Structure 1
Amino acid sequence: MQTKTQLPIPPHFEAQKVGEVWRVPYLERAQQARDWANLHHIKPAFEDKKRTCLLLIDVQNTFCIPGFELFVGGQSGNGAVEDNKRLCEFIYRNLGSISAIAPTLDTHTAMQIFHPIFWINAEGIHPTPAATNITPKDIEQGKWKVNPAVAYSLNLTYEVLQNHALHYVKQLSQNGKYPLTVWFYHSMLGGIGHALVSAVEEAVFFHCIARDSQTQFEIKGNNPLTENYSVLRPEVLESFGGKQLAQKNTRLIQQLLDFDKVIIAGQAKSHCVAWTIDDLLTEIQQIDSSLAKKIYILEDCTTPVVVPGIVDYTSQADSAFERFADAGMNLIKSTQF
């Protein structure tokens, strides 16, 4: 679906550094972006007749750099790094037609419902991350219970938090969500894992300056009592007793649907990417199912969660993407847009 002339890759981009963490030289890149825009006659984004948004899901060190907490290696073992090489090249090649970039930032503190400290067993031992799923039966039988110290820190009574925990995992099961997985501490607010991958941050910053288009960062996942795979809504909206726990991101939903095209990439295909697209599709089908055709998914810029010897979400991710395509969304390679 090649529809336009694409730009060359700027000489500062070093593909071999995509899997590393480093400081972006902002002042130098800003001047280069201005010069690049002048050289290639790239106009400010506000002049675009057709507006395109690039939604980047959790392209953060914690998921994308080997050795970090939840590196998404996929079946190849190096998935997120290869994805981000292609993603950076996609941004640079399509600099003149991407009107806005919205990166989501998974944002956590230690005491959240999916981290080890939140739970203990009868011996006071925390669950093993990535290898532990917590079900309603586990809580009802006392295999896992809420850590009383967490209740104190969250300014809740132990009874309220324990009731919420049981209600929460039941809601996940009833709503067809993944079971509650205890993850390694990740995307920690204030930590290096929370930051965008350096090469992607550089490309996004370059776009911002070259196109006079402010990058729109979207924070998600900081509610201690629910997971937030999707940037558009948390996994559970109501707490025990029917009280509101969290809300949908209606502002971002409307923003995305106002664009002529929305391109989606990021990590992980099986979790945050899939659930974000699923929520967007739900909104589209409630308004006008034909809007699905404005969504473009870069299937070579996303990888499913695979923990060797423990779990492989590849088939679930592929099934979800097939469903998105059947609904009218466009599954494309980063070289086809």
Structure 2
Amino acid sequence: MNAQTTKQLPIPPHFDAKVGEVWRVPYQQRAADAREWAKKHQISAAAEDKTRICLLLIDVQNTFCIPDFELFVGGRTGTGAVDDNLRLCEFIYRNLGVISAIAPTMDTHTAMQIFHPIFWINDAGEHPTAAVTMITPEDVHQGVWKVNPAVAGIVGVDYAELASHALHYVKHLSEAGKYPLTVWPYHSMLGGIGHALVSAVEEALFFHCIARNSQTQFEIKGDNPLTENYSVLRAEVLESVNGRPIAQKNTSLIQQLLAFDAVIIAGQAKSHCVAWTIDDLLTEINHTDANLAKKVYLLEDCTSAVVVPGVVDYTDQAEEAFARFAAAGMHLIKSTEPLETCPDFPKIGNG
């Protein structure tokens, strides 16, 4: 039976809700389970979908989602990302027959990048040691923090130019109304456990891939040493101090997203990579057709804001951003809502 339906499916029996732990996905067994599940529930291949739905997952990686990892997004509850991912996995399984494609972004870093401690030193030759260090234009101009000379050759820019770029960079962030340059703990390190997807989410994505014959589309971001890259659609700064391009917009993904009938977005963190990605998507939509915002759905119960107790709390900023997205026409929905009841959700019927 070749049909696409919004009918919600049961949760497969293999799902045991271990979303706050790291473990190995049993691929061969899950592949067999997925094929049998598709047969039992008459789930057709995604290529046959008449209505194309994309689930864009932002940085659902161990480094942000597992307690005691480098940048666990606990939100104000302290268990934010864990709770979010339980709901997210259940959403994927229940809507397996509706979701045509899943695109997870992968925050991907090495040590010597502009937002990591080794990049910066003070007059004593010390690197930032606070849980989170904000660097302002005044800090750089006054020499409170300076570029580490040892980094220059490694990132392929001589020291004088790199120092000029650093000042240009923090000024640009300030002038553009962005968050100040934030020096985070080393996180999402390429080759490390923190870089990997949360095991339970990876399992759900693999199950979807096999059941629907839909290749998971991994989107790498954040590997440029000269700029932050909260959004998967564009880096924070695209040009160096001399106007030389240092990064480009992710034009291919932008075009793909705008071509879907609906785009559903979730992930971490609501205040940073999720908000910045949605903001960039909204900018592209407004440049194309503002009505396209109506086909974007934000799973607001599958995302949490950055909160470092006693240091920073970005919850209010995250809520303000989501209110702005809703005012622009995007829809704030819960993962438990049947998709067919969501406002403006495209009609899905038999293929």
Aligned partner of 2:319 in structure 1 is 318
Kept in 2, the 8 Å contact 1:115–1:129? The answer is no
Q: Which residue of 2 aligns with 1:11?
A: 13
Tell me, which stretches of 5 or more residues in structure 1 are unaligned?
Answer: none
- CA distance, structure 2, for counterparts of residue 256 and residue 157 of structure 1: 38
Alignment check: 8 A CA contact 2:114 2:225 kept? yes
Q: Deviations over 1:186-212 (max 9, x none)?
A: 000000000000000000000000000
Normalised TM-score (structure 2): 0.94
Write the deviation string for residues 26-63 of structure 1: whole angstroms up to 9, x where unpaired.
Answer: 00000000000000000000110000000000000000
Residue 347 of structure 2: aligned partner: none
Q: Separation in 2 of the partners of 1:233 and 1:131?
A: 23
CA–CA distance in 2 between the matches of 1:160 and 1:141? 17
Q: Within 2, Cα distance between the matches of 1:104 and 1:210?
A: 21
SS at structure 1 position matched to 2:231: coil
Q: Please report the TM-score for the alignment, with normalisation by the length of structure 1.
A: 0.98
Retained in 2: the 8 A contact 1:145–1:162?
A: yes
Residue number in structure 2 paired with 1:230: 231
* 1:58-97 aligned within 5 A: 58-97=59-98
| C-alpha contact 1:114 1:180 (8 A) present in aligned 2 | yes
Q: How many residues align?
A: 334
Corresponding letter in the other structure for 2:241: F
Matched to 1:305, the amino acid is V
1:201 aligns with 2:167: no
Contact 1:128–1:182 (CA under 8 A) maintained in structure 2: no
| Cα distance between partner residues in 2 of 1:260 and 1:132 | 41
**Contact 2:11–2:90 (Cα < 8 Å) also in 1:** yes
The answer to whether the 8 Å contact 2:122/2:146 transfers is: yes
What is the match of residue 133 of structure 1? 134
Look up the match of 2:192.
191
RMSD over aligned CA atoms reads: 0.8
Counterpart-to-counterpart distance in 2, 1:273 and 1:315: 14
Q: What does residue range 1-337 of structure 1 map to in structure 2 within 5 Å?
A: 4-15=6-17, 17-336=18-337, 337=339
Shift of 1:4: 3.3
Q: Deviations over 1:296-319 (max 9, x none)?
A: 000000000000000000000000
Percent of pairs with identical residues: 77
Query: Does the CA-based 8 Å contact 1:61-1:68 persist in structure 2?
Result: yes
TM-aligned CA deviation for residue 9 of structure 1: 0.1
Rounded to whole Å, the distance in 2 between the matches of 1:131 and 1:122 is 19
Partner SS for 1:142: coil
Contact 1:122/1:143, CA 8 A, preserved across alignment: yes
Deviation at 1:332, TM superposition (A): 0.2
Task: Report the equivalent of 2:346.
Answer: none
**Distance (whole Å) between structure 2 residues aligned to residue 274 and residue 328 of structure 1:** 15
SS in 2 for 1:270: coil
| Cα deviation digits, residues 59-87 of structure 1 (max 9, x gap) | 00000000000000000000000000000
Give the letter aligned to residue 319 of structure 1.
Answer: E
Paired residue secondary structure (1:331): strand
- Structure 1 counterpart of 2:325, which letter? F
- Superposed CA deviations along residues 118-158 of structure 1, whole A, max 9, x for unmatched, are 00000000012433100110011110000000012223211
CA distance in 1, matches of 2:87, 2:96: 14
* Secondary structure of 1:56's aligned partner: strand
Return 125-134 or 153-162, whichever deviates more: 125-134
> What one-letter code is carried by the residue in structure 2 that aligns with 1:173?
S
Q: Provide Cα deviations, 1:230-271, integer angstroms capped at 9, x if missing partner.
A: 000000011111111100000000000000000000000000
**Greater alpha carbon shift after TM alignment, 283-292 vs 123-132:** 123-132
CA distance in 2: counterparts of 1:221 and 1:304, whole angstroms: 19
Letter of the 2:290 partner, please give it: S
Q: Is the 8 A contact 2:71 2:185 kept in 1?
A: yes
1:194 alignment partner AA = H
3-state SS of the aligned residue for 2:272?
Answer: helix
Q: Distance in 1 between matches of 2:282 and 2:154?
A: 37
Which amino acid in 2 is paired with 1:6? Q
| 8 Å contact from structure 2 (residues 128, 183) kept in 1 | yes
Give distance in 2, aligned partners of 1:112 and 1:228.
11
Per-residue CA distance 1:171-196 (angstroms, 9 max, x = gap): 00011110001000000000000000
CA distance, structure 2, for counterparts of residue 65 and residue 244 of structure 1: 35
SS of the residue corresponding to residue 266 of structure 2 reads strand
Contact 2:134 2:183 in 1 (8 A): yes
CA contact (8 A) 2:6 2:97 kept: no
Distance 2:76 2:104 in 1: 25
Separation (CA, whole Å) in 1 of partners of 2:128 and 2:139: 12
Report how far residue 333 of structure 1 moved. 0.2
